[in-house]
Amino acid sequence: MSLIATNRNFRLLFSATAVSNLGDGISALAFPWLATLITRDPFLISAVAAATRLPWLLFSLPAGVITDRMNRQRLMVGADILRMVLTMGVIGLILSAPTLPLYDGAVQMTSLITGLCAAAFLLGSAEVLRDNAAQTALPSVVEKCDLERANGQLWSVEQIMGQFVGPPVAGLLIALAVPAPFLLDAATFGIAAFLVWQIAMLPYVRVQQASGFWLQMREGVVWMLGQPLILRLALMLGVLNFVIMMSATMLVLLSQEIMGLDAAGHGLLLTAGAAGGVLGGMFGPKLVSRFGAQICVFGALILFPIPFILLTVTSNPWLAGLALFLEMFSGIVWNVVTVSLRQRIIPDALLGRVNSIYRFFGWGSIPLGALFAGLLVSSLESSLGRETALRVPYVFGAIVCVGLALYGMLRLRLPKAL
């Protein structure tokens, strides 16, 4: 029987995840689209994307210590409330702006982009705490034998709400009024905070830890360095996320300028990725059970280069949708294996810190990928032309993913029993 039907606490966590990811899906389209209404500069657009993810590089490590020190449920609630307030601030920023889109060289452009970057950075900072606490808290909500099922169901609903539902809704709302998607986004964070507050989470039993912030962080680092497999997976994830963020950052311009899509069309394009994510969440645990973790991770690595190759050569939205589908399917299968592995083998007293170190390596590269994409396109545009320059990040990503697949085949060995 489904965990949603039998486990009330997981049902609440599942519902909170669904609602908050609806908001994330809305903002995933609304933020970059808003940036393109302010400027067409690839680097400035990439700066907004980088600001959202920069906190994963700056705050992942201290977030782990905070997660292991504090009540994880309260951290999640507080972070969602803060994200609600910050999103209301974005609405205020939009209402204070002149009519959008701005013309090139408008004097308000710098202040608006700066404000948008600041809001994105603060929202990303709250997300670091919230997501680290949520992933660390899952073993307190379900039994360890149910972790693959629980993670698969959570990632499925994340994709459904964050990609299937959120972007098309955002596309429709932003066509009606630019502030509209952000208003709904703020509401979702408030609802998610209420749902998490209702969870009767098992009490976290603290064990004796080293005194002092840095000594506690060192404990997590020492454990991580003593686990070559976990460290290798973290570094591989960092490389993957770097090139995936390059792709995602330029996709909004590729969609508008080469595929000719409007906001609603771009939202529908993103739903193709959601379809892959949903199927990955649904069938990932079954694939792991049938073929084993090793084969599933190898399969994901083999699939990763294909989306970059497709986006390099196509101007067809249907083929671009297929690329996003494959990217998300392989990414979720990778996550089903690797996140469940971490949750199972990392000691609970260290789970927050080790997860944060893992995400420092795995997610800290995301803002760097966004900025690199913007710099790459801006620097090549004059010599290669706009369209060719926009495709270069996808060529780079394909080459990197082929190399990563070869490395994984040679060096990655997962335990047979997870």
Residue 417: per-residue pLDDT: 52
Hey, what are 289's tokens? Answer: 């059970």
Residue 206: per-residue pLDDT: 55
Ordered DSSP codes for 40-102: --HHHHHHHHHHHHHHHHHHHHHHHHHHHHS-HHHHHHHHHHHHHHHHHHHHHHHHHS-SSSP
Answer for the pair 196, 13: CB distance below 8 angstroms, yes or no.
yes
Q: Tell me the CATH number for domain 3-200+213-411.
A: 1.20.1250.20
Query: What span, in angstroms and rounded, lies between the C-alpha atoms of 367 and 121?
Result: 11
The upper half-sphere exposure of residue 18, i.e. CA atoms within 13 Å in the direction of its Cβ, equals 13
Q: 351 pLDDT exceeds 80?
A: no
Answer for the pair 172, 184: CB distance below 8 angstroms, yes or no.
no
pTM of the model: 0.74
Cis preceding-peptide flag for 101 (omega within 30 of 0): yes
Query: What span, in angstroms and rounded, lies between the C-alpha atoms of 249 and 255?
Result: 11
Query: What span, in angstroms and rounded, lies between the C-alpha atoms of 212 and 406?
Result: 42
- For the chain, the structural domain boundaries read 3-200+213-411
Q: Which of 204, 62, 235, 207 is nearest to 140 (CA)?
A: 204
Query: What span, in angstroms and rounded, lies between the C-alpha atoms of 74 and 175?
Result: 36
Angle of helix 263-291 relative to helix 166-176, nearest 10 degrees?
170
- In one-letter notation, the amino acid at residue 57 is L
Ordered DSSP codes for 163-194: IIIHHHHHHHHHHH-TTHHHHHHHHHHHHHHH
Query: What span, in angstroms and rounded, lies between the C-alpha atoms of 320 and 316?
Result: 6
Summarize pLDDT for 301-313 with one digit per residue, the tens.
Answer: 999 999 999 999 9
Choose the weakest-confidence range: 159-163, 230-234, 316-320, 369-373: 159-163
Q: 210 pLDDT exceeds 60?
A: no
Q: Which of 405, 105, 62 is nearest to 221 (CA)?
A: 62
Hey, what are 118's tokens? Answer: 């600041």
Residue 205: per-residue pLDDT: 54
Answer for the pair 233, 380: CB distance below 8 angstroms, yes or no.
no
Q: Which of 298, 81, 315, 55 is nearest to 190 (CA)?
A: 81
Please, what is the average pLDDT of the chain? 85
Residue 227: per-residue pLDDT: 86
Alpha helices in 198-262 (DSSP H): 213-225, 228-253
Residue 304: per-residue pLDDT: 96
- The arithmetic mean of pLDDT across residues 13-19, rounded, is 89
Q: At which residue do the structure tokens 């009330």 appear? A: 8
- Provide the 8-state DSSP code for 212: S
Summarize pLDDT for 31-75 with one digit per residue, the tens.
Answer: 888 888 888 888 888 888 888 888 888 887 787 778 777 788 888
Hey, what are 336's tokens? Answer: 């089903």
Residue 373: per-residue pLDDT: 93
Buried b (16+ CB within 10 A) or exposed e, 203-215: ebeeeeeeeeeee
Query: What span, in angstroms and rounded, lies between the C-alpha atoms of 243 and 197?
Result: 36
Q: At which residue do the structure tokens 């760097």 appear? A: 368
Q: At which residue do the structure tokens 């991580």 appear? A: 224
